[in-house]
Chain A
C-alpha cells in the first residue's frame, strides 16, 4: 500500500487500527526473519496520540521500520551483532526524529548484516533474512530486512543505510524502490557508523512518490552531522523533457545475467518512447571501483569499529583478567567473521609500510573515478544500468567466498565512492518471477530530478 492509501485508511478508521494491522502482519511473516524486534508498546502509544490529535504531521500515524543500525527507542539497537545485543539507545537518529516529528510511527527494527557488513543479510548474528519473493534466496543486503518488510507490504516505507549498495541491491532483489541520496543529503547522526565518507541514509518504498515524500522529510542540514549539505532537496512534479541519458556499457557485458540486461534495455526503450535520448557511454574506472572500495571502506570502518571494546557500553566478555584480554575477547565474541575480515584489512591498509601503496593509492584512484563521472555528467543528465549483475542468489551460495559475494556490489559501489545519488527502481521479473532492478545515477544533488524521471517512467 502507498503512504497516501495508508493515510486515507487512518482517516477512515484510526491510527491505532492501522498500526495494529502492521504489527499483526509483521508477526504473521516472522519466518522471513526480516525484523529483529518490534517496538509494539511505544508504537501503539504513539498511535493513540495521533488519534487523540496530540501527534500531527504529514505522516501522522503512518507505520514504518528502521534498519537496526539506526538508534531508535522502543527496542535495543543491535546492528545485528552480539556486541550490541542488549544496547538501548540513549537518543534517536536525526532521520528517525524527523520522521517522528512528521507523525510517522516506528513499529520495528529490521535485520541487516552485522554492522552493515555484507550484501545478503547472511552475516547477521541473528540469522539471515529470506527473500520476499523466493524464501530459498537471499534478501540482499546489508539492508535486507528493510527491503523485505517493504516488499511484503508490512509497512509502506522502511529506512536503510547504503555504504556501497546496501539499499539499492536489496531493493532490486525484492522488487521495491531503493534510494541512496547524495552523500550528505540525510544526516548520519545516530546511525552506527561504517565508512564515514560513503555512508548514506535512505529509504525503501513501493513507489517513487512515497520516496520523494520520505526523502523530503529525512533530508536537510543537521547541526549534529557536520558533513550534511545545506538543504537542497525539493520535489519536482514533472520530469525534465528530452533528457540525455547514458547507458553504462561497462555494466552490460556478457558477464551480466541476460535477463537483467533485457530488463535494462526495456527500460531504455521506455525512456526513448518518452522522448529522452539514450546513448551508450563508457565508465572505464568502474572496473576498479570494487578494488578501491575494498581498501577505503575497510580502512574507515576499522577506525569506526575501534570504539566497540566492551568498556562503556555493549556486551563485555566474561571472566577476563586484564584490560587487553577484555578488549580482545569482547571483540572476538561480539563481531562476526565478516566484521573481523574487514577490520583486519583496514588495519593492514592503514599500517605503516602499506599506507601509500594501498590506502593512498585507492583515494587517488577514487579521484580518477569521480573525474570520469563528472565528465559524463557534462553531457548527460543521468546514467542508467542494472543495479546488480543477477537477481537474488540462493541462500548459502556465496558465503564461502568473500570476493564472489563482493562482486554483487560491482555496479553500486561507483556511485557510493563518488557520493552521487543513485536509485534502484523495479523493472519487472525474470522468467522465474524474481525481481530485477534498474539503477539510475545522477550528478551530486540531482536526487529530486532523478526521482522525477523515475516517477514519469512508472506509468509508462
Chain B
C-alpha cells in the first residue's frame, strides 16, 4: 500500500498550488492516505487487455467554424471582474 507522508502532502500541495496552513497538513495526510488505500482495491482487477474509457459519448472530431467567439461578452465586462486592473491589463505581483 502506498504510504503517504507529511512530505508527500507538502509535495502534492505544491503541485496543486495550495499553500496549506500547518493545522491542515496532518488531517490531509491521514485522509489522502486512507482514500488512496481504498482505491487500491482496483489492483485486484485484470485489465491487461482492456482499453481505457476517457469519454462515453462516442463522439469524435466535433468541429466548429474557425471563428472568434466572444459569447456576447465584452473585454470591459470581463476585466470588471478582475481583482486588480491597470490600463486594461490584469495586475499581479512580481513573479520572482
Q: Which residues of A contact B (CB under 8 A)?
A: 87-88, 90-91, 183-184, 197, 223-224, 226-227, 229, 288, 290-292, 294-295, 302, 306, 309-316, 320-323, 325-329, 331-332, 335, 337, 340-341, 343-348, 351, 354, 358, 360-368, 370, 402-403, 406, 418-419, 444
Report the nearest A residue to B8, measured CB to CB.
Answer: A348
| Contact call B52/A311, Cβ cutoff below 8 A | no
Q: What are 5 inter-chain pairs, A to B, with CB distance below 8 A?
A: A294-B39, A314-B83, A347-B16, A348-B36, A360-B52
Chain A residues closer than 8 Å to B71, beta-carbon distance: 90-91, 224
Excluding A328-B18, A402-B34, A418-B56, 5 further A-B contacts by CB distance (< 8 Å) are A184-B57, A227-B55, A292-B42, A361-B47, A368-B47
Contact residue among B35, B40, B52, B92 (Cβ-Cβ distance under 8 Å from A364): B52
CA distance A229 to B56 in the complex (A): 11
Inter-chain CA distance A315–B82, complex, in Å, is 9
Shortest CB distance B26–A (Å): 12
Chain A residues within an 8 Å CB radius of B34: 402-403
Interface residues of B (CB under 8 A from A): 2, 9, 12-13, 15-21, 24, 27-28, 31-32, 34-36, 38-43, 45, 47, 50-57, 59, 62, 64, 71-73, 77-78, 81-84, 90, 92-96
Bound Cα distance from A316 to B82, whole angstroms: 9
Task: Assess the B81–A294 pair: CB atoms within 8 A.
Answer: no
Distance (Å) between the CB of A3 and the closest chain B CB? 29
Q: Are B93 and A322 in contact (CB under 8 A)?
A: yes
Q: Separation in Å of the B7 CB from the closest CB of chain A?
A: 13
| Inter-chain contact A327/B81, CB cutoff 8 Å | no
User: Given the complex of chains A and B, what is the CA–CA distance between A70 and B95 in angstroms?
Assistant: 33
Q: A348-B36, A361-B42 are contacts. A313–B92 as well, Cβ < 8 Å?
A: no
Q: CB distance A345 to B35 under 8 Å?
A: yes
| Contact yes or no, A322 B81, CB < 8 A | no
| Smallest Cβ-Cβ distance to A184: which chain B residue | B57
Taking the closest CB of chain A, its distance from the CB of B86, in whole angstroms, is: 13
Instruction: Verify B73–A91 contact, CB threshold 8 A.
Output: yes
Contact of B81 among A90, A223, A306, A344 (CB under 8 A): A90
Min distance, Cβ A195 to any Cβ of chain B, angstroms: 11
Contact of A366 among B35, B52, B92, B94 (CB under 8 A): B52
Task: Please judge, given known A-B contacts A227-B55, A364-B52, A419-B57, whether A331 and B18 are in contact too, CB under 8 Å.
Answer: yes
Task: Give the chain A neighbours of B90 by CB distance below 8 A.
Answer: 311-312
A365 contacts across to B, CB distance below 8 A = 42, 45, 47, 50
Interfacial chain B residues near A341, Cβ < 8 Å: 28, 31-32, 35
Determine the chain B residues whose CB is within 8 A of the CB of A302 once the complex forms: 16
Q: How far is the CB of A199 from chain B (nearest CB, A)?
A: 12
User: Are B64 and A226 interface neighbours, CB within 8 A?
Assistant: yes
Instruction: Indicate which residue in B13, B40, B57, B82 contacts A344 across the interface (CB closer than 8 Å).
Output: B13
Question: Is the CB–CB distance between A403 and B17 below 8 Å?
Answer: no
B94 and A323: CB pair below 8 A?
Answer: yes
A322-B94, A323-B94, A344-B13 are contacts. A316–B83 as well, Cβ < 8 Å?
yes
Instruction: Give the Cβ gap from A97 to chain B, nearest Cβ, in Å.
Output: 11
Q: Which residues of B contact A364 (CB under 8 A)?
A: 45, 47, 50-53
Q: A331-B17, A364-B47 are in contact. Are A323 and B95 (CB under 8 A)?
A: yes
Given A294-B35, A348-B36, A365-B45, is A316 in contact with B53 using a C-beta cutoff of 8 Å? no
Residues of B with C-beta under 8 A to A316:
83-84
Bound-complex Cα distance A407 to B13 (A): 26
A344 touches B12 (CB 8 A): yes
Give the residues in chain B near A346, CB-CB below 8 Å: 16
Give the chain B neighbours of A90 by CB distance below 8 A. 71, 73, 77-78, 81
Contact (A347, B73) CB under 8 Å given A291-B42, A315-B83, A367-B53: no
